[in-house]
A and B are shown apart, each in its own frame.
Chain A
Amino acid sequence: MTGFAGWEMPAQYQGIRAEHLAVRQRAGVFDVSHMGQIKTCGPQATELLQRLLSGDLRKLPKGGAQYGVICREDGGVLDDVITYRLAECEYLTVSNAANHERDLAWFSSHARGYNADVIDLIDRFAMLAVQGPEARAIVDELADGPLPIRMRVCERSVGSRPVTICGTGYTGEDGVELLLDPADAPAVWDALIAAGAVPAGLGARDTLRLEACFPLYGNELSEGRGPIEAGLGWCCAEATGFIGSDAVARTRKSDASASGPAEKSVPAQRLVAFVLDGPGIARPGNPISQGGTVTSGTLSPSLERGIGMAYVPAERATPGTPLTIDVRGTERGATVHRKPIYSKEA
């Protein structure tokens, strides 16, 4: 067990590599109950969330899910979240455990003046992620109706317990996430294991998300970085006027006209994926000789090579660009890789 943001969480059950490969090849189940949930509801819930979230909520239908970031005025990222639209004027936002209290305070302070309620539901939900090529078949067997497709959400009974099922995940595999009453979670967990899902810990969750190049708040994302340099421009709809949209728009514009005269003294950095050319494992904080820093690094159980993500000068962000990483005094060659590092087609 390992401590994180006040939670005791399983880092591994049988071993990170075995759990990782089980998710890639069959199915694993993760207890991610540390994730936070914030309900936003009321006649002006959509207007409020449109200020708080970077995505275009007009494109989020009832029963849909949308990934986005929460920005400060200066564009710094406060959190990255998934928001489910449960009803016309009812949303559920899933936050990172370490940011949940701050998110909640941010939502509540901005809710003044809106006819909308912000409700903390972190204690009301356990969360299980079932991921892998066989994940849907396993949950389907226990469910009383069809599962939601990718980026959709619906209410079902799973193992005779009421569950909000979401077609989302953090592994690069197909699968679903289940939000349910904590009192029901042990029974549903046991049913999933009995149906063939392998218990997987947060160590495997990290190697899986890194192969899939999903950013992790605290590593790739922080208040000091904006979504554009993190490669999250795709989830930012500046025209909606969300908090921070002006700053995001400026960065996007300077990014697009990078060939013009440089006005900034510090060159813009970009988040890239990399694979080490030889043996070794880069770790967060390792400096890169050509500029920049490793934000995440591990051994890829799928590739059996050191992989990671790093912020590098924008001109070095093209796949194929060589990097030299200082791994605790040893210089190790790496190459910028297209994202994701691992995909089924590769």
Chain B
Amino acid sequence: MADASYPDDLHYHAEHDWARVEGDQATLGITWYAQDSLGEIVFFDPPKQGATVTKDSPYTEVESVKAVSDVTAPLSGEIIEVNETLADSPEKINDDPYGEGWLVKISLSDPSEAESLMDAAAYEATLD
């Protein structure tokens, strides 16, 4: 498992989610802290393409051996792509939470929402 890291180019939500905003789209995932707290992720049932996600509301689940956890949307929009490779290799969420372990891409309904998210330093400060 990778060492703790919180890349500077991402936006962070207090529920331990990240968003990589590119124009009016964003890639979403869970943070290093989230995957470390959950332990080995053994199941990810991707949400449907075209589904609507709402900032601060759960949009999918990740499961460790022991428990299922909701994943909160850091931003609102419509799912335009899901990471299908996680169905067979959910451990990518542990191994590479900001890279191959991304969960979904969305088209943003309100790109200005990103302004309410934290930067890496502010998020990291919440973890102590």
Contact = CB atoms under 8 A, between A and B. Distances in A.
Interface of A: 11-12, 15-17, 203, 206-207, 279-281, 283, 298-299, 301, 306, 328, 330
Interface stretch (B13-21, B61-69, B118-126): B61-69
B42 interface: yes
Given A15-B39, A279-B45, A299-B63, 20 more contacts: A15-B40, A16-B39, A16-B64, A16-B65, A17-B40, A17-B42, A203-B39, A203-B65, A207-B65, A279-B43, A280-B43, A281-B42, A281-B43, A281-B63, A281-B68, A283-B67, A283-B68, A298-B65, A299-B65, A301-B65
B87 interface: yes
Given A16-B65, A203-B65, A207-B65, A279 B40 contact: no
A280 B45 contact: yes
A299 B42 CA distance: 8
Given A12-B39, A279-B87, A17 B45 contact: no
Interface string B45-89: 100000000000000010111111000000000000000000100
B42 to A, nearest CB: 5
Contacts of B45: 279-280, 330
Contact of B66 (A279, A298, A306): A298
B38 to A, nearest CB: 11
Contacts of A330: 45
Q: Pick from B39, B65, B68 the residue with the most CB of A within 10 Å.
A: B65
Nearest to A301: B65
Interface residues of B, number: 13
The 7 A-B residue pairs with the shortest CB-CB distance, nearest first, are: A16-B65, A299-B42, A15-B40, A203-B66, A299-B65, A281-B63, A281-B43
Contact of B65 (A17, A280, A328): A17
Contacts of A299: 42-43, 63, 65
B68 A328 contact: yes
Given A279-B87, A328-B61, A16 B66 contact: yes
Interface of B: 39-40, 42-43, 45, 61, 63-68, 87
A190 to B, nearest CB: 25
Contacts of B65: 16-17, 203, 207, 298-299, 301
A22 to B, nearest CB: 14
B67 to A, nearest CB: 8
Contacts of B63: 281, 299
A35 to B, nearest CB: 20
Contacts of A16: 39-40, 64-66
B111 to A, nearest CB: 30
Contacts of A11: 66
28 contacts: A15-B39, A15-B40, A16-B39, A16-B40, A16-B65, A16-B66, A17-B40, A17-B42, A17-B65, A203-B65, A206-B66, A207-B65, A279-B43, A279-B45, A279-B87, A281-B42, A281-B63, A281-B68, A283-B67, A283-B68, A298-B65, A298-B66, A299-B43, A299-B63, A299-B65, A301-B65, A306-B43, A328-B61
Contacts of A280: 43, 45
B78 to A, nearest CB: 20
Contacts of A207: 65
Nearest to A332: B45
A318 B40 CA distance: 34
A101 B106 CA distance: 53
A279 B44 CA distance: 9
A298 B40 CA distance: 13
A202 B68 CA distance: 17
A10 to B, nearest CB: 12
A305 to B, nearest CB: 11
Contacts of A283: 67-68
